[in-house]
Chain A
Amino acid sequence: MNPLLSVHNLKKIYGEGCDDCMGPSPRPGPDNLCPICGSIIACTDVTFDVYPGEVLGIVGESGSGKSTVLGCINLTTPVNGGEILYSRLQSGIRNILEVDAQTRRTLQNIHFGIVYQNPHLGLNFSISGEGNVAERMLVADSRNFAAIQEKVHNLFERVELSSARFKDYPINYSGGMQQRVQIAKALINAPSLILLDEPTGGLDVSVQAKILDLIRSISRELNVAMIMVSHDIQVIRLLCKRIIVMKHGRIIESGLTDRVIDDPQQAYTQTLVHSTIQ
């Protein structure tokens, strides 16, 4: 099977950068700073594949570069190096870091969907919940109000949003509802890849379980690929077959979830697994 998305040697540096940290395999330091010029190495030498329909997990501590990788794939964060090959564009396999602005918007609006931990990043709070989801169809050139509304309502029922709340503004939704609307927004144009940036962070445990259930059933029913970023290894274990462990902007370990969690090879992964409250 051919990968849906192949990320090769992705690099993102915040700061001036020098020949060493801008080149391949920069010298590691005690943290995510370049030991020579002090620039922040948000991610470097990040290479992985995502296959159609699979859920890939990325774990790591705060500042390890997880969200940076998602931002780079979603083309919202400009990168300093590497390539991201995507196979579902009409023009064949393309490096999406080099496409024109219109193709970039097509990718963001139709091919990818993203769910942020902070709903303020994912939702427009000045329009209704329904308008937020409809927006994705409107930017994808749908112009029929009744047809759009029907599709949005069907999806809202799927994500179990109460029909009395469709027209409400996101500020009046609970945290769980905001995430449901974000998930509906990500799904509306039938994307081939959904990026989940800690979608259940900050939610209480029972709501968290319901949202995770929803994500799991969506990935099974719709066969949509997902990249799930989390610092919570239990969440990752529940959803993902394969995981990547990141630290200081680099991938330090990857493999099948059960293998990595039951038999962690790296010292950091061992700490991560064993520090979870059982």
Chain B
Amino acid sequence: MSIINTRAGTVRLLAALAAVSLTVVACGEGDGGPVTGNGGGDGGGDGGDASNYPDQNITVVVPFSAGGPTDTVTRLIAEPMSEELGQQIVVQNVEGAGGTVASGEVANASADGYTVLMHHIGMSTAPALYQDLGFDPLEDFEMIGLVTEVPMTIVARSDFEPETLEDLIDYVTENADTVTLANAGIGAASHLCGLLFQDAIGVTVQEVPYEGTGPALTDLVGGQVDFMCDQTTNTSGQIAAGEVKAYAVTTPERVESLPDLPTTEEAGLPDLQVGVWHGLYVPAGTPEGIVTRLSDALKVALADQGVIDQMAELGTAPVPEEDATPDAHRARLEEQIETWGQIIADAGVEQS
């Protein structure tokens, strides 16, 4: 501890402090640095040459917090994609306003293939939920391909009376003015699934929004609210432990990690089909060669056994190869914007 006894010592201390902070920031900076703008170039310029793409790090922007389901899916595919492309992929979390902050940033980034957006079903609901969005999901992006479609589960507090999905529908219909339906916030996947459920059974119930899945699930386990619909990534642990009661999974097929749980179709509600689909985007105007290169790398990543195994742990699976393409992705987005625009308008959700 002798260094602290000299003035030089204090200077060294400051230098060390600065070094620590710069290292920490450098990690962050390395995570993509400024998303928008590429040092003034018009982006199309030297980045437009697809033949030597990629020759620098690629940033994938995730519009939700690190550690969440979307972030996890992104990091899973980033590794094999990065191997395939021969460049490092850095994941950057830009949170806010249901993912629209990140989308807006990527929409305005250089169209050189070095800034990529991972987004989920929220891309298709944004036009209906937000006014002055600042970007158009269909006009301002090129689609690279779909990634995965995370199934959702309808779950209730463990002492909730109904035992099956049919019981639940009857019970909710009879007790429409006392039942409470939780969700993780306006525009969250659980909110959308809840809207779809009400739409499918033709009954409106009291929705109880939370700030995120964590608090919503906490109150469900604590019995403060009656039921909700959320992604398997969030609910399967609680279902397995019997802390919540599960009625059905919202995809056409059963989920490997919850083999006893019937699908909505099997359980008598075929109209409720919803999955949290994820896709990759780059800014509009990105050269076709680059889009194809990224799309091919995505296909390779989705065929990776490690990715398949880890997705299975999360209760999901990669999309079939033909869906990991720009055309399939665009078609899905167009169809979903229409579908959700209608449902959200019918439900009377206000634009913000």
Q: A and B: partners?
A: no
Q: Chain B: residues with CB nearer than 8 A to chain A?
A: none
Q: Chain A: residues with CB nearer than 8 A to chain B?
A: none
